[in-house]
A and B are shown apart, each in its own frame.
Chain A
C-alpha cells in the first residue's frame, strides 16, 4: 500500500510562483525595481515599499507632530510615487526621488492643517547663535536630554523641521536637500542654521 505524505506548509508556500519570485527579487538593486514595476510587475513595487517604508516614515515623522499623520503622508507618498512612476526619469536614483515626493506630500498636508508662512520665520537677529561659551548642547548626554531636543525639533517652524529631517534623518547633502525642498541652496543653509539657533536657544531656556 502506498503511503502519501502531505507536503509541509513551507513547501506549499515555496511552490507558489509569487512567493518564489519575491524571494528572488530580494536581491535586486533598488534602481532595477522601478523598471520592473513599470513592466507591470506588482511584486517589484511592493518590494520597494517594504524597503523604503521605515526610512521614509522616520523622515516624515520628524516633520509632523502626529504618528497617524506621518503614516498617512508616508502612504500618500508611495501612492504618488506609484502614480508618477511612468513619468519619472529612470536614471534618477529612487530614494531621493521618493523623499522629494514625501516632502511634497508632507508640505501639502501641513499646508492644509496650518499654512506655512515663510514670512513668519524668525530672522538671524532674533537668534544669538554665535556664542563662544560652551552651550547647553555640551550638557546633553542622557537619552532624556536627547528626547528634550527631539521635542524642541517638533516645536520648530515646519520649514526648519523639514530641513532638520532631511539633513539628519535622511542624511542628505545640502544639494540634495535643495533639490528635495525645491529651494535655493543658500536658503536651505539658512533654514538649517536658524533651526540650530532656535534649538540652542530652547535648550538654554530649559536648562
Chain B
C-alpha cells in the first residue's frame, strides 16, 4: 500500500521555477560579491588611515603632551552644576558665557596643536569609524533570516 503511495508521491506534479530566477540569483550573488569587495576596501582604508594616524600621533607626541593640560581643563561636575543653576536663573547670559568659554577652550587647545597632530587625530578617528562600520556590517543578519547555531548555515 505504502509502495503505491511512494510511487504516487514520486510522480507529483512539480512547478518549474520562473525562467529568470537563476539570472536573478546570479545578480544577487554578484551584488553581494561587489558589496563584500567594497567593504574589504573600506576595511583596508580604515586600517591604513588608523595606522597613519597612529604614526602621526607618535611623531608629534611632544605636542600632544603639551596640549593635554588644555584638553583636561574641561568643566568638572561642580562647575557644571553651577552653570545649570546660572542657566535656570538667566538662560541667555549663561549660554553666552558657555559660548565664550568654549571658544576660549578651543583657542587654548588649537594654539598647542600642530598640523601633524591634528591630521593624526583625524586619521585615527576616520580609521576607528571605518573599522566599526565594517564590524557592524559583518555582524548584521542577511535578508532578515536568522542564523542558528552549529552547522546551521
Cα distance A100–B150 when bound, in Å?
A: 13
**Is B21's CB under 8 angstroms from A82's CB?**
no
Cα distance A71–B25 when bound, in Å?
A: 9
Contact mask B126-153 → A, CB, 8 Å, 1/0? 0000000000000000111110101111
**Shortest distance from the beta carbon of A203 to any chain B beta carbon, whole Å:** 9
**Is B153's CB under 8 angstroms from A104's CB?**
yes
> Is A20 at the interface (CB under 8 A from chain B)?
no
Q: Would you list which residues of chain B between 1 and 41 have a CB under 8 Å from chain A? A: 1-2, 4-6, 8-18, 21-22, 24-26, 28-30, 32-33
The closest CB in chain A to the CB of B37 belongs to A40
**Is B25's CB under 8 angstroms from A58's CB?**
no
Q: Contacts A76-B143, A137-B1; is A104 near B9 (CB within 8 Å)? A: no
Size category, A interface: 35 or more
**Shortest distance from the beta carbon of B140 to any chain A beta carbon, whole Å:** 12
Q: Contacts A78-B29, A82-B29, A100-B153; is A53 near B13 (CB within 8 Å)? A: no
Cα distance A167–B12 when bound, in Å?
A: 12
Contact mask A45-84 → B, CB, 8 Å, 1/0? 1100110011001100110000100011011101111111
Q: Contacts A71-B21, A105-B145, A150-B12; is A49 near B2 (CB within 8 Å)? A: no
The closest CB in chain A to the CB of B142 belongs to A79
> Is A147 at the interface (CB under 8 A from chain B)?
yes
Interface centre among B9, B24, B144, B148 (most CB of A within 10 A): B9
**Shortest distance from the beta carbon of B76 to any chain A beta carbon, whole Å:** 50
Which A residues are within 8 Å of any B CB, using their own CB?
A: 42, 45-46, 49-50, 53-54, 57-58, 61-62, 67, 71-72, 74-76, 78-84, 100-101, 104-105, 108-109, 111-112, 131, 134-135, 137-138, 140, 143, 146-147, 149-150, 153, 164, 167-169, 182, 196, 199-200
Task: List 17 A–B pairs whose Cβ atoms lie within 8 Å, in order of A's numbering.
Answer: A42-B30, A46-B29, A54-B16, A54-B17, A58-B15, A58-B17, A74-B17, A76-B142, A82-B33, A104-B152, A109-B145, A137-B4, A137-B8, A149-B8, A149-B9, A149-B12, A196-B6
Which B residues are within 8 Å of any A CB, using their own CB?
A: 1-2, 4-6, 8-18, 21-22, 24-26, 28-30, 32-33, 142-146, 148, 150-153
Given contacts A46-B29, A83-B32, A169-B12, 10 further A-B contacts (CB under 8 A): A49-B25, A49-B26, A54-B17, A67-B15, A71-B24, A74-B17, A131-B1, A146-B11, A149-B12, A182-B150
